[in-house]
Amino acid sequence: MKFDVKNVSLYNFLAPWIVSCVFLFTSLYLCILETNFYAYVVPFSLISFVISIFTFYQTHKKVKNEEGSHAIYQFYHISFGVYLLSFIFSMAIVSIYTSIYASGGVFYVWSFLPILLSSLVVLTSAKKGLKKYEMYKQKIV
């Protein structure tokens, strides 16, 4: 059965990613305020980020053997940018929390190391997809 490339939806992985970012910045704000409640917000951020990665790989698995189109190139192009941003923000947040180890920065560092590694894995998958569908680049502009 052939996969319809019109069904490539960016919202499948962008919605959980945005929820993850909201939880992440909420927990950062709560940690700066020195409340202990921030530790309860971090798992929700991690769970929604894992859901985002799972939906990316579901779409990637469906799309990778299809013929190229503008929708597939756009999917890889936007997912590369989104997960590059998540990698950069996670690195910045880990560096911020290493300076506030006294208020629980160790918890953040150990919880966001898997996020950093999984962001790198998704980045390489999206970069391979971009190289595969390079000929459709002119249609985006």
The per-residue pLDDT for range 87-125, each reduced to its tens digit, is 888 888 777 777 766 666 677 777 778 888 888 888 888
Domain count, the chain: 1
Looking at the domain assignment, is residue 91 inside a domain?
yes
Looking at the domain assignment, is residue 19 inside a domain?
yes
Q: What does DSSP assign to residue 1?
A: -
DSSP string, 22-73: HHHHHHHHHHHTT-TTHHHHHHHHHHHHHHHHHHHHHHHHHHTTSPP-HHHH
Read off the pTM: 0.78
Looking at the domain assignment, is residue 5 inside a domain?
no
Looking at the domain assignment, is residue 3 inside a domain?
no
Q: What is the mean pLDDT of each run of 10 residues along the chain (141 residues)?
A: 60 86 84 78 86 88 75 83 86 75 67 82 86 67 50
Domain span at 117: 10-139
Looking at the domain assignment, is residue 1 inside a domain?
no
